[in-house]
Chains A and B, each alone.
Chain A
Amino acid sequence: MTQAPGVHIKGSAGFVAVSLFRNLDVTVGAGEWTCLLGVSGVGKSTILRLIAGLETGAVFDGSIETSDGASLDGRVAYMAQQDLLLPWATVLENVCLGARLRGERVDHARAKALIEDVGLTAHVAKKPHALSGGQRQRAALARTLMEGGQVILLDEPFSALDARTRADMQELAFRLLGGRTVLLVTHDPAEAARLGHRIVIMTEAGVATVAPPALAPPRPLDDAGYLAAQAALLQRLRVPA
């Protein structure tokens, strides 16, 4: 795989009468996990959708640049809170969806290997309704990996999972997405403190970069630096500076 690019987004966005964010300046480091932390409704997902090239409904005045200068088209993969699996297709068909839509020859061996990586080999022929929430997100992760996109946009993909499954999924995703540029949008300070190489906090007061804990992510759940960072982040969310 070629080197994953960094992404730099700056500018302002808003609706006709309401400003969503102003003077944003966020750098998503190449090959790193950047966590964008904020409460609901602050415009986090809009940033992600802007990078993904999706309709946002807001007017964006600014620029999105990559560190290698090339366009992001076709290099982005996306995972959301909803698993976004086609309910009528099997796990394998869902994982192969992107290749099928591009009219490429589907590499079934690779798809099956990725499904094995996420631990769903026994469920390869099942439809999404037969899987648990955690399994569905793992299938979505396998599909994201299958895409081979170098910039991965994660929109609260773990927020609907129970605590144990979430911790497992965070580690699995971190391991499997290693080397790619990841932008994780989350409202959970613990998630940002655990996974971010960079942590960007977004509040009504504006956007600020926060120093991450000293240990490299994913940080152990009992790490003092991680716990302190989590508390500090929550504090900043509650009382914007």
Chain B
Amino acid sequence: MTIADQAPVAPVVDEEEAARARKDRIHRVAKWTLPSLVMVLSVLAWHLYVTLNEVPHYILPGPLVVAQSIFDDWGLLWPAMLTTTRLTVLALIFAIIGGVALAVAFTQSKWAEMSFFPYAVILQVTPVIAIAPLLQIYMDSAFGAALACAWIVAFFPILSNTTIGLKSADHNLEDLFTIYGASRWQRLRYLAAPSALPFFLGGLKIAGGLALIGAVVAEFVIGRAGTGLGLASTLLEASYRFNFGRLYAALILISGMGVVIFAITSLISHLALRKWHESAMMRER
């Protein structure tokens, strides 16, 4: 009788459909195997290039040297990674709090938006690397200064996306809420906030990556003064010592962190939206 009633698995009836099902299966497997294969081949090529050309390890260490470095320097790399992770995650959390709070203020009051939005933009467009040395001077704690840097970079996409999201509620639903006599708070809670969720989550995905970039930049600038922060400081220090094995090890760990952050934010987004939002729903094609 309805679309929903017909949804349960239709039996495969003809060859065309069987072919499509087969193609889908192949796609699912290839999605994982192809990138893995590319990775294995690249590492192999890297290894062969380094060994066949006898490239000195202070120019390009081979994958084995890097792996050895990760293993040997784990005692150094692990705490550094924890510091960078803490920096990134805290910056992201504060970016969420600040971005969402400011976005709500902007949508509730035109005056607030007019007064403060230009400064949010200025904060965003000023390269953080230019602000970092100042923060280092004015803030006692190197960690605090680095955190502020990472926060500045991460908060804008959340602010910008959430603001658009809060304003994008269907105007017909706005009318419905007017007829129901909904209060300002109820509009925000039951209409604007859910409408803004997909936008916020889009911003969160970007902000997650940016928080890491902000943390790394901050460590480069602030960690240089011998305050020894996280992975980026370790990387920088390794480059001064021509310890390229450690440098590559730190680099790989940083990009690994980026991938994990992206995966986590994507998962959160998927779980929050899969039941109702077009962007995350499975459709039969």
Contacts and interface: CB of A to CB of B under 8 A. Distances in A.
Interface of A: 49, 52-55, 73-74, 76-78, 80, 82, 84, 86-88, 97-98, 100-102, 123, 126-132, 134-135
Interface in B178-234: 178-182, 186, 190-191, 194, 197
B4 A101 contact: no
A18 B160 CA distance: 38
A54 B180 contact: no
Max chain B CB contacts within 10 Å: which of A80, A88, A100, A135?
A88
Contacts of B179: 52-54, 76-78
Nearest to B4: A130
A87 B277 CA distance: 8
B173 A86 contact: yes
B173 A98 contact: no
Contacts of B281: 129
Given A101-B182, A123-B4, A84 B276 contact: no
A53 B190 CA distance: 21
Contacts of B191: 86
B178 to A, nearest CB: 6
A98 B276 contact: no
Contacts of A52: 175, 179
A74 B180 CA distance: 7
Given A54-B178, A132-B2, A132-B4, A84 B190 contact: no
Contact of A78 (B175, B186, B194, B197): B175
Q: Which 5 A-B pairs have the closest CB atoms?
A: A88-B276, A88-B194, A101-B180, A87-B276, A101-B182
Contacts of B3: 130-132
B94 interface: no
Nearest to A79: B176
A73 B180 CA distance: 9
Nearest to B191: A86
A80 B4 CA distance: 23
B117 interface: no
A131 B4 contact: yes
Given A88-B276, A129-B276, A98 B4 contact: no
A53 B4 CA distance: 36
Contacts of A135: 2, 4
B181 A102 contact: yes
B177 A101 contact: yes
B275 interface: yes
Contacts of B170: 82, 84
Contact of A80 (B2, B172, B186): B172
Contacts of A53: 178-179
A76 B180 CA distance: 9
A98 B180 contact: yes
A123 to B, nearest CB: 7
Secondary structure class of chain B's binding surface, majority of residues: helix
B45 to A, nearest CB: 47
Interface string B34-65: 00000000000000000000000000000000
Interface in B139-158: none
A131 B186 CA distance: 26
B87 to A, nearest CB: 34
Nearest to B283: A129
A49 B178 CA distance: 11
A53 B177 CA distance: 12
Nearest to B1: A132
Interface string B1-14: 01110000000000
B183 to A, nearest CB: 8
Interface string B110-121: 000000000000
Given A76-B179, A97-B190, 16 more contacts: A53-B179, A55-B178, A74-B181, A77-B179, A80-B175, A84-B172, A86-B173, A100-B190, A101-B182, A102-B180, A123-B4, A126-B4, A129-B281, A130-B4, A132-B2, A135-B4
B199 to A, nearest CB: 14
16 contacts: A54-B179, A74-B181, A80-B172, A80-B175, A82-B172, A86-B191, A88-B197, A97-B180, A98-B180, A101-B181, A101-B190, A126-B4, A127-B276, A128-B276, A130-B3, A132-B3
Contacts of A126: 4
A111 to B, nearest CB: 15
Contacts of A130: 3-4
Contacts of B175: 49, 52, 54, 78, 80
Contacts of B4: 123, 126, 130-132, 135
